[in-house]
């Protein structure tokens, strides 16, 4: 068997006391050779007990290092971890996820088997944080094309394929020497910007669907709407900051939807044609959303989702569209 390269696991973290223990358990249970990887948890000076939990693990786990990140900026945390890493390969993990015990090995083997790949990732499944209806609906929408667009790491793929981005990512260390680190000006979407920069430099990103992790989306309604809004805001705001488009066409669809709604609301009272077009578009949209929701409700055998799913889909589209518009219009 080919000897696996030394791997550095980099984890940005801040106030994750409710997740960090289960997360570390899943990482430490991986079947990657114990003497061939390190864990660098870069913490933004958590004050909810996260640091104490991590320190307790580190007492008996020499591979685990706790690194301070006073500003709790995610791109700064990623860069700190990369700069202090010793591995030939760097993999980014998320505390809000759990990982199958072959996850690390499969990602690294994917890099080794595809010399032209610079970044490898897998499928991100979604599970609710609790069993309430809205949390379940948010989780189900997270991997549905109506909310995720064509993001293959969320909706799935039949086989390995080249993509524009993956969740987390397993990178050859030399990639960071070649194109630089994560852009610390971007509070969010720094992964989109980095992967866009990687592809622009001739690099490739490979999705291998047999590699799987489970993500736990925000189940609280307010947190979910705010997270959706901020994700959209930073896709467009980040593009303005770096001076180039860092997203995909899928990021623009909710913006078009919201602009269309606003235009119809403004012009509809003065134009019969606008009202007719708006009625047709909204009727079609409603039919698509209801049909998709019915399929989800049938698959999950829960008729309550016939009500919950349309609400979540609509909130996703509106929050993302409004966040996009604000990201474009807000002054630098």
Note the pLDDT tens digit of each residue in 106-148.
999 999 999 999 999 999 999 998 889 999 999 999 999 999 9
In a domain, 241, yes or no: no
pLDDT reported for residue 6: 98
CA–CA distance, 115 with 101 (Å, rounded to integer): 24
pLDDT reported for residue 1: 52
Under-70 pLDDT residues of the chain: 1, 332
CA–CA distance, 71 with 94 (Å, rounded to integer): 18
In a domain, 237, yes or no: no
pLDDT reported for residue 332: 64
In a domain, 233, yes or no: no
Place of tokens 């890493």: 85
CATH code of residue 133: 3.90.550.10
pLDDT reported for residue 331: 76
Q: What is the pTM of this model?
A: 0.92
Alpha carbon 168 to its chain centroid, in Å, reads 7
- Reduce the DSSP state of residue 238 to 3 states and report it: helix
Angle between helices 133-142 and 272-300 (to 10 degrees): 100
> Are residues 71 and 210 located together in one domain of the fold?
yes
Q: Give the domain range for residue 92.
A: 7-218
Structural domain count of the chain: 2
Question: What sign for the dihedral angle of Cα 133, 134, 135, 139?
Answer: positive
pLDDT reported for residue 131: 87
Query: What tokens were used for 330?
Result: 């807000």
> Are residues 97 and 44 located together in one domain of the fold?
yes
């Amino acid at each position: 068997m080919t000897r696996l390269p030394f791997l550095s696991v980099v984890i940005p973290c801040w106030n994750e006391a409710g997740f960090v223990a289960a997360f570390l358990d899943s990482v430490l249970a991986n079947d990657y050779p114990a003497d061939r990887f390190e864990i660098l948890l870069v913490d933004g000076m958590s004050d909810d007990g996260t640091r104490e939990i991590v320190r307790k693990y580190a007492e008996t786990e020499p591979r685990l290092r706790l690194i301070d990140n006073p500003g709790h900026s995610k791109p700064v945390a990623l860069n700190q971890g990369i700069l202090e890493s010793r591995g030939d390969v760097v993999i980014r993990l998320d505390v809000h996820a759990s990982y199958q015990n072959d996850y690390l090995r499969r990602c690294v083997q994917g890099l080794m088997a595809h010399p032209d790949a610079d970044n490898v990732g897998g499928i991100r499944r979604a599970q609710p944080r609790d069993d309430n209806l809205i949390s379940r609906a948010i989780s189900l929408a997270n991997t549905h094309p109506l909310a995720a667009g064509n993001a293959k790491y969320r909706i799935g793929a039949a086989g390995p394929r080249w993509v524009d981005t993956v969740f987390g990512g397993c990178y050859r260390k030399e990639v960071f020497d070649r194109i630089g680190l994560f852009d610390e000006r971007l509070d969010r979407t720094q992964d989109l910007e980095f992967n866009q920069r990687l592809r622009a430099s001739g690099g490739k990103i490979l999705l291998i669907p047999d590699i799987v992790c489970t993500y736990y989306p925000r189940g609280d309604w307010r947190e979910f709407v705010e997270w959706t809004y901020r994700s959209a805001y930073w896709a467009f705001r980040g593009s303005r900051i770096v001076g180039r488009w860092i997203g995909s066409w899928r990021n623009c669809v909710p913006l078009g939807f919201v602009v269309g709604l606003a235009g119809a609301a403004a012009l509809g009272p003065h134009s019969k044609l606008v009202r007719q077009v708006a009625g047709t578009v909204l009727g079609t949209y409603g039919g698509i959303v209801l049909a998709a929701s019915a399929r989800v409700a049938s698959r999950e055998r829960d008729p309550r989702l016939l009500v919950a799913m349309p609400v979540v889909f609509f909130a996703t589209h509106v929050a993302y569209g409004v966040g996009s518009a604000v990201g474009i219009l807000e002054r630098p």
